[in-house]
Amino acid sequence: MAESYFTTLTNTGKAMFANSPVLGQSVSFSTLAVGDGNGSYAGLELAAMLQRTTLINEVWRGSINHISVDETNSNWLVVEAFIPSDVGDFDIREVGVLDSEGNLIAIGKYPLTYKPKITQGASKDLYVKMILEVTDTAAVELKVDPAVVLATRQHVADELQASVEAERLHLAEELRAYSVGMVGFFDREVPPAGWMEANGSECPEKATVLNTILAGRHGMGPSGRSLLPDLRGEFVRGWDNGRGVDADRVLGSWQGDAIRNITGEWETTIDAESLSFAGSARFTGALYRSKPNIAKQFTTVSGANSSIDGVGFDASRVVPTASENRSRNGAFLACIYAGI
């Protein structure tokens, strides 16, 4: 038959809790002790343990490291003690809690646990936890000696995780505040949380920080709040801010389209009688010879047939052309971070 394990107040402990409100004295938990039960669980039945004033065979005792009321049950006390690595070479089958005067207040039947000693070639720090149900946790003095408080690796890890999470939330909040007004482009049709499409609409009423940052640079809406920039179909250019590449611009200003000047030269001699190019002609840039020596275009004064040359202009000979001026681009959803 499988063993069952438990913790309970001893009869001494029950009497102390019963007298606590009458005498106006709290019950003090001071020491935790462990024993090996003399090598077996015989005698560790509940009825027998209620009567006990000592463990069957105590092998170690030490100051309580931590005592608290359980977070999920206000009638549960959590008592913990630390057994260091240089103590050991014994089994644990029984555990008890004593007050400052050495009275055994609570006792428990503990799952068999071996505690090695470092000199045996094995080392283990052991944290013993005892959960005890009492009728009134307010009657217990939740006090431990700070000189014996030690942290387990798990406790340190939990505290570190809590600290990291708190710092993460703090940084996320700071980043959110600093990011208001940021412009971003997304490969999606709907803005992500906290972002708004930069479509020239009016700032929402709750986007107070964004409204202050924009300060009406793109106009004011009917409700008196700043308009968002309208970046649909537009290219974005970094603000010059004194560099001199795109001088005399202010933040948020707009600039019309333009292209660089396209030029070309035509250099030749025209025959006075035939009005055609005499000899070779030179064309540069966007100019080219479009109709070389087209015969019988007209008759000269002397009656002889002559020819005429043509000059054409085609910007595509110099640059890529389209129905608009543009740079190479991709189409993405332009948004502005509102932080809401």
Residue 284 lies in a domain: yes
- Helices then strands (H, E): number in the chain? 4, 19
Domain ranges, residue 158? 151-178
Give the pLDDT confidence score for residue 324 in this predicted structure: 74
pLDDT over 60 at 27, yes or no: yes
Pair 138, 156 in one domain: no
Q: Which of 15-19, 205-209, 273-277 has the lowest mean pLDDT?
A: 273-277
Pair 20, 139 in one domain: yes
Pair 166, 130 in one domain: no
CA distance 279 to 98: 122
Pair 145, 158 in one domain: no
Residue 246 lies in a domain: no
Pair 51, 126 in one domain: yes
pLDDT over 50 at 297, yes or no: no
Give the pLDDT confidence score for residue 272 in this predicted structure: 62
Residue 99 lies in a domain: yes
Give the tens place of pLDDT for each residue, 186-195.
999 999 999 9
Positive or negative, the CA dihedral 205, 210, 215, 219 is negative
Residue 214 lies in a domain: no
Mean pLDDT in residue range 37-62 = 93
Pair 24, 76 in one domain: yes
C-alpha closest to that of 11 among 49, 41, 39: 49
**Helix runs in 139-260, H state only:** 153-179, 208-214
Pair 66, 170 in one domain: no
Give the pLDDT confidence score for residue 145 in this predicted structure: 56
pLDDT over 70 at 61, yes or no: yes
Mean pLDDT in residue range 54-79 = 89
Residue 201 lies in a domain: no
**Helix runs in the chain, H state only:** 11-23, 46-51, 153-179, 208-214
Q: Classify 206 as helix, strand or coil.
A: coil
Pair 141, 162 in one domain: no
Mean pLDDT in residue range 259-267 = 76
- In the block, residue with structure tokens 């069952």: 4
Residue 11 lies in a domain: yes
What domain count does the chain have?
3
Give the pLDDT confidence score for residue 132 in this predicted structure: 87
Mean pLDDT in residue range 165-184 = 85
Residue 86 lies in a domain: yes
Residue 85 lies in a domain: yes
Pair 15, 142 in one domain: yes
Q: Which residues of 50-74 are buried (b: 16+ CB within 10 A; e: fewer)?
A: eebeebbeebbbbebbbbebeeeee
Pair 23, 101 in one domain: yes
The model's confidence at residue 294, banded by pLDDT at 50, 70 and 90, is very low
The conformational region for residue 171 under phi > 0 = left, psi -120 to 50 = alpha, else beta, is alpha
Pair 40, 140 in one domain: yes
Pair 16, 134 in one domain: yes
C-alpha closest to that of 208 among 230, 225, 191: 225
Q: What percent of the chain has pLDDT over 90?
A: 35
